[in-house]
Each structure stands twice: as C-alpha cells, then as structure tokens.
Amino acid sequence: MSISHAATAGSVPAERPKLVSPGTLLVGGIGLAALTLVGVFLGDGQRVAFSWLIAVTFWTAISIGALMLVMIHHIFDAGWSTVIRRTLEHWLGVFPLLALAFAPLVLVSLFVDADVLWKWLDHDRVASDILWTKKSAFLNPTAFVIANVVFFGIFIWLSTRLRRHSFAQDEDGSVEHTMSNRRTAAFGIPLAAMSLTFAAFYWLMSLEFHWFSTMYGVWFFAGSMRAALAFTAILCIYLANRGVLDGIFRIPHLLNLGNIMLAFTVFWAYISFSQYFLIWNANIPEETFWYNLRELNLGTGERNSWWYVGLFLLFGHFFLPFFFFLGHGNKKKHSRMVAVCSWILLVQLVDLYYNILPTKKLESGDAIPFSVSPWDVTALLGVGALCFWQFFRSFARTRCIPIRDPRIVESLQLHE
C-alpha cells in the first residue's frame, strides 16, 4: 500500500466499515446506569455509591492517561504515534460526560448522606478529630466542590484545545496547529499532572482521611498510563480488524505500544513497592493501618480476603505482564496483545477495588470482604457504554487519522 493510498484509506471513506451504533450504546448506557439505581431502592445505597465511584474512576483514569499520551506525543514531536493520536483524540471527548457522571457522587455526599463515601464531609462526625482538624483547609465541602470543578475543567479545556487544532489541521493543513498543540502540551503536562495528583488525593486517598502517602498521586498516574496504553492497543486493533485502520495501524505501532507498556509495568511496580516498603519500614501506626486493613482481620489477626487480592495485584500487575512484554514476538501478535491488554485493564479495575472498598467497614472495624456486586457490573458497563457513545459520535465526524499532520508520512512508513 502506497503512502498516498494509506492516507486516503485513513481518511473518511465513501463507505465506512460498519462499527458499533452510537444510538445502541447511548440506550444501553442509560439503561445500565438506571439499573444501577435499583440498588438504592433495595436498601444498598452505600454499595451503589462505591460501585459508581469505582466505575467513574476507572474510565476517568483511562481518559487521563489518554490525555497525557496525546500531550507527550506533542511535546516530544513524536512521529511514530501520529496515526494512533487521532483515536486518542476522539476518546478525549468523554471528559464532559465523565464530569456529569461524577457529579451525583458529590451531590449525594453533600445533600443526602455525608457519610456515604467521604466521611470527612460529615462535619459533626469529624469536628473533634485532630487529624481532620489539621487537614480541614483541604478536606471541607467548599474546597471539594471547587477542586472537582477545577480538575474536570482543566481536563476538558486541555482536551478541547488539542482536539480543535488537530481536527482543524485536516482542513487547512497549517503547521501552526501542530505548534499550538505543542505549546498546549508544554503547560498542559504539568497542569494535568498536578490535577490528577490532587484528584487521586480527593477521590481515593481521602476515603481513609487519616492515612496519607506522598506517592499516591504517582501511583494513580502509573495506573492511568498503563490502562490507557492497554486500552489504546485494544481499540486500534479493533479498528484495524474492522478495516478502518487496516494497513495504517501496523505491527511496528503495536510493538512500540508494548514497549511503553513494559516501561510502565516496571514503573508501577517501583512506585507500589516503594510506598509499601517505606510504610512497612517506618512502622508508624498512622500509616501502617491502611495496609493492615487490607491484610488482617483486626480482632483475630487472621488473613482476610484482601490479602489474596494484594497477592493477585503483585503477580497480575507486574510479573505476568512483565514477562509477557519481555518476549519480542508477543508484542507483535494481535490476539496475544488483546489478551494481555484486557488482563491489564482487569487488574487495574481490581486495584481500584483494593484502594476503595476496604474503606467500608464492618461493625468490628474490619474491612468488608472482597466481593463483586451486580451494581459494580451495571455501573462499569453503563459508564463505559456512554463513553463509547461519545467516542463513536466523534469518530463519525472527522478523519480517522490526521492526514495533513507534518509527521503523518513518517508514521505511515514506520518500521521495526
């Protein structure tokens, strides 16, 4: 396939291959989201809130990782990833929807039940807590609302700028759009990095507000990047197999994605081990209790279900992907990459369970056992379907690849 022919194939053809219907995704997403609410009427409202938080955080983490990947592409003036970038840009349109999905958690916590997720929103409960008092300038309802508006505002603003200039370049071919996106990436990377860090503090770490870790934001970044890379690989393989990116997204692109996933696999392991080791070595009760809840029943000292989840994360998050990605040939096979990328997304989801669910306590003070609720499934699929609805709506309106990007030929000619 010639370069000119490939570029034409990557644009909007006269008859696009049939993909998933956006209307079906919209109806399915709304239906599953509504089904999740059934749990509230069955008296399981707090579990529904945890399910919704897990779902929204999972899809938001992938989206944040996608945003960072696009900006990293621009700041490094990368050539190889140009054909991949447009798929990520289509996905970045989901941030307004994710902001709307997160809003019910804030509203319920502020106006219905302050105790449902973030205990520190219940002022009467924590007023005499010295640890909350020292953090009250950060952990209060006003700061929480403002922070979330800022977080999603930054993600939406950066995504909109990147998408607008990239799509406009398809029409006029001006290199100024490339330069503008490079400038956006220059200030956008530190801005998004700070936003995702404080978002991790607010959304996840503050669920157990007595505990703290300065490495938590980096842990969230590492997981978001791995999930985004795995998700990108699956999505591009799907589009290639459906004929949209056939002959455009090729083995060298997949190989590079696998190499970066290997790097972030090691990075996640380094961050997670460092956090655990430093807390274990210091042996300060204000820090160790977070892991104790995820290893032992406090009354009996016996290992609880979260101990085995922790072992699953150790082997599933690191050892299995690490040895897989060491194999050069593994990263060139579509079926194998889809399998391992699906595994990475599954383990990322379990990692969120590990960080979120044990903050829900039994009367004994022990963390609730690990379990998968029906509301977890409906919430995850519902939010995901709505995100894909937005993705395919965007996908239908513009070119499949940035056909007039200065680096497009280099990307199409990529070789090992």
pLDDT per residue as tens digits for the range 364-379: 888 899 999 999 999 9
- In this structure, are residues 237 and 254 in contact, taking their beta carbons and an 8 Å threshold? yes
In the three-class reduction of DSSP (H, G, I as helix; E, B as strand; rest coil), residue 303 is classed as: strand
Q: Which pLDDT score is estimated for 224?
A: 96
- Enumerate the β-bridge partners of residue 315: none
Helices 141-172 and 95-111, interaxial angle, to 10°? 170
* Residue-averaged pLDDT of the chain: 91
Residue 6's pLDDT band, with cuts at 50, 70 and 90, is very low
Helix (H) or strand (E) holding 167: helix 141-172
pLDDT at position 10 over 80: no
Cα distance between residue 112 and residue 106, in whole Å: 10
Residue 415's pLDDT band, with cuts at 50, 70 and 90, is confident
- In this structure, are residues 338 and 237 in contact, taking their beta carbons and an 8 Å threshold? yes
Nearest 5°: the CA angle 294, 295, 301 is 130
First to last CA, the chain: 17
The structure tokens listed for 136 are 């009250």
pLDDT at position 228 over 80: yes
The structure tokens listed for 77 are 């003036």
pLDDT at position 294 over 70: yes
Residue 17's pLDDT band, with cuts at 50, 70 and 90, is low
The structure tokens listed for 105 are 């958690």
Instruction: Name the CA dihedral angle for 42, 45, 46, 51, rounded to a multiple of 10 degrees.
Output: 90
Q: Which pLDDT score is estimated for 43?
A: 79
- Enumerate the β-bridge partners of residue 361: 367
- Enumerate the β-bridge partners of residue 296: 303
- Only one residue has tokens 């977080």, namely 151
- For residue range 35-83, list pLDDT tens digits in order: 998 988 887 889 999 999 999 999 999 999 999 999 999 999 999 999 9
- In this structure, are residues 313 and 346 in contact, taking their beta carbons and an 8 Å threshold? no
pLDDT at position 191 over 90: yes
Cα distance between residue 233 and residue 251, in whole Å: 11
CB atoms within 10 A of CB 247: 13
pLDDT at position 339 over 60: yes
Contacts of 54 (CB under 8 A, 6+ apart): 349, 352, 353, 356, 357, 376, 379, 380
Among 89-93, 145-149, 165-169, 281-285, which stretch is predicted with the lowest mean pLDDT? 281-285
Mean pLDDT along residues 219-235? 96
In the three-class reduction of DSSP (H, G, I as helix; E, B as strand; rest coil), residue 385 is classed as: helix
Instruction: Indicate the DSSP class of residue 17.
Output: P
Q: Which pLDDT score is estimated for 16?
A: 58
- In this structure, are residues 195 and 67 in contact, taking their beta carbons and an 8 Å threshold? no
Q: Which pLDDT score is estimated for 18?
A: 67
| Whole-number CA gyration radius for the chain | 22
Residue 297's pLDDT band, with cuts at 50, 70 and 90, is confident
CB atoms within 10 A of CB 371: 10
Q: Which pLDDT score is estimated for 2?
A: 37
- For residue range 299-325, list pLDDT tens digits in order: 788 899 999 999 999 999 999 999 999
pLDDT at position 344 over 80: yes
- What is the number of residues in the chain? 416
- In this structure, are residues 401 and 10 in contact, taking their beta carbons and an 8 Å threshold? yes
Mean pLDDT along residues 349-377? 92
40: Cα within 13 Å, side-chain hemisphere: 13
Torsion sign, CA atoms 191, 108, 63, 30: negative
- In this structure, are residues 267 and 222 in contact, taking their beta carbons and an 8 Å threshold? yes
Instruction: Indicate the DSSP class of residue 128.
Output: T
Contacts of 192 (CB under 8 A, 6+ apart): 64, 67, 68, 71, 154, 155, 158
- In this structure, are residues 343 and 320 in contact, taking their beta carbons and an 8 Å threshold? yes
Q: Which pLDDT score is estimated for 365?
A: 82
The structure tokens listed for 231 are 């998700």
Among 4-13, 236-245, 325-334, which stretch is predicted with the lowest mean pLDDT? 4-13
Among 144-158, 174-188, 272-286, which stretch is predicted with the lowest mean pLDDT? 272-286
In the three-class reduction of DSSP (H, G, I as helix; E, B as strand; rest coil), residue 367 is classed as: strand
- Only one residue has tokens 């779902």, namely 55
Instruction: Name the CA dihedral angle for 249, 252, 255, 259, rounded to a multiple of 10 degrees.
Output: -110
C-alpha 192 chain-centroid distance: 13
The structure tokens listed for 383 are 């939010």
pLDDT at position 95 over 70: yes
Q: Which pLDDT score is estimated for 396?
A: 87
Instruction: Name the CA dihedral angle for 204, 210, 212, 217, rounded to a multiple of 10 degrees.
Output: 20
Q: Which pLDDT score is estimated for 216?
A: 95
Cα distance between residue 157 and residue 148, in whole Å: 14
